[in-house]
């Protein structure tokens, strides 16, 4: 199996602006995720952030990216439409996309889903338990029946997403809600995974089980289909003899 090239994208603003976040992620959430992934076999990892030129997502970077992970929150609107279109085109051409937490409201996720991606929320540091509801899926490899997070922001249903190909995790929250916290879709030749945990004020991306899920998702999302099937529009000739028109 060849190396999977991962680009870990982060808005990277909260970590610079809020001490509470900086203390948990001094180098940014992207570095917490990337540091973990770099230790895993078969992965080549780089990072990119909003304030880099072209948000760090040049044509060259995307061409060399097999799987892109995305965390954004306060600055979704600052992501340029041109870059969003570029990312979408690359996904349709086979790049995997892993959307984390508040990335549900990113332009790229909403573009891929076609829905509002709205949800209910509150931030009172309540307990969350992510139940594995699809233990045959490779994203669950190495997990037990659930992941427990002592303190999280809450996301509640209804979550305005298209019918997922597969629901992998359903969360229970102490305050009384549930949420489809892990779900997959395919779009074009690209695989997409949404994963709910990751609020910036909690050390979610230091949790070994959360990191394992991200690693599993990266391996799952890397393209492994038919490179020779062209999905672009084209005029084609008949493959069979056709009767002469009257």
Please tell me the distance from the alpha carbon of residue 110 to that of residue 99, in angstroms, as a whole number. 11
Q: For its own copies, which residue of 134, 201, 203, 206 counts as binding (CB under 8 A)?
A: 134
CB of 134 to its own copies, least distance (A): 8
Q: For its own copies, which residue of 191, 199, 204, 217 counts as binding (CB under 8 A)?
A: 191
In angstroms and rounded to an integer, the radius of gyration of the C-alpha atoms of the chain is 19
Q: Is 124 in the site for its own copies (CB under 8 A)?
A: yes
User: Largest Cα–Cα distance of the chain, in whole Å?
Assistant: 78
Residues 147-166 close enough to bind its own copies by CB under 8 A: 151, 154, 156-160, 162-163, 165-166
> Which of these ranges, 30-38, 69-77, 124-132, 195-203, lies near its own copies under the rule CB under 8 A?
124-132
State phi, psi for 203 to the nearest 5 degrees.
Answer: -85, 50
* CA-based nearest residue to 4, from 69, 85, 83: 69
> Which of these ranges, 46-54, 63-71, 182-190, 200-208, lies near its own copies under the rule CB under 8 A?
182-190
CB of 53 to its own copies, least distance (A): 27
CB of 11 to its own copies, least distance (A): 18
Please tell me the distance from the alpha carbon of residue 13 to that of residue 20, in angstroms, as a whole number. 12
Q: Is 22 exposed, middle or buried (0-12, 13-18, 19+ CB in 10 A)?
A: middle
One-character DSSP codes across 82-129: HHHHHHHHHHHTT-EEEEEGGGGGSHHHHHHH-S----EEEEEEEEEE
- Lay out the site mask for its own copies across 83-102 (x = CB under 8 A, - = otherwise): -----x---x-x--------
Residue 98 near residue 195, CB atoms below 8 Å: yes
Assigned token pair, 85: 């279109």
Please tell me the distance from the alpha carbon of residue 153 to that of residue 199, in angstroms, as a whole number. 6
Q: For its own copies, which residue of 129, 201, 203, 207 counts as binding (CB under 8 A)?
A: 129
Q: Is 235 in the site for its own copies (CB under 8 A)?
A: yes
Q: For its own copies, which residue of 20, 80, 122, 208 counts as binding (CB under 8 A)?
A: 122
Q: Which is nearer to its own copies, 75 or 167 (CB)?
A: 167
Residues 42-81 close enough to bind its own copies by CB under 8 A: none
Query: Strand pairing of 120-132 and 96-100?
Result: unpaired
Q: For its own copies, which residue of 2, 41, 77, 233 counts as binding (CB under 8 A)?
A: 233
Q: Is 187 in the site for its own copies (CB under 8 A)?
A: yes
Please tell me the distance from the alpha carbon of residue 40 to that of residue 55, in angstroms, as a whole number. 26
Q: For its own copies, which residue of 2, 19, 60, 228 counts as binding (CB under 8 A)?
A: 228
**Number of residues this chain uses to bind its own copies (CB under 8 A):** 83
Q: Which is nearer to its own copies, 52 or 126 (CB)?
A: 126
């Amino acid at each position: 199996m060849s190396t999977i090239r991962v680009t870990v994208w982060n808005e990277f603003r909260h970590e610079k602006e809020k001490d509470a976040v900086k203390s948990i992620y001094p180098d940014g959430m992207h570095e917490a995720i990337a540091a973990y992934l770099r230790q895993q076999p078969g992965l080549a990892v780089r990072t990119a952030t909003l304030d880099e030129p072209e948000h760090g997502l040049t044509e060259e970077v995307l061409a060399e990216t097999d799987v892109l992970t995305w965390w954004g929150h306060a600055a979704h609107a600052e992501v340029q439409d041109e870059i969003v279109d570029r990312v979408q085109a690359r996904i349709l051409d086979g790049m995997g996309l892993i959307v984390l937490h508040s990335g549900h409201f990113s332009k790229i996720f909403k573009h891929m889903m076609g829905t509002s991606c709205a949800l209910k929320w509150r931030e009172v540091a309540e307990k969350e338990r992510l139940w594995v509801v699809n233990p045959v899926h490779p994203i669950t490899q190495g997990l037990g029946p659930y992941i427990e997070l002592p303190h999280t922001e809450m996301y509640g249903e209804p979550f305005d997403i298209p019918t997922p190909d597969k629901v992998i995790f359903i969360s229970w929250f102490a305050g009384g809600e549930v949420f489809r916290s892990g779900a997959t879709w395919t779009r074009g030749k690209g695989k997409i995974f949404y994963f709910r945990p990751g609020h910036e004020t909690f050390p979610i991306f230091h949790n070994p089980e959360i990191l394992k899920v991200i690693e599993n998702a990266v391996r799952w999302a890397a393209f492994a289909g038919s490179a020779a099937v062209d999905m672009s529009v084209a005029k084609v000739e008949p493959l069979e003899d056709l009767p002469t028109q009257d």
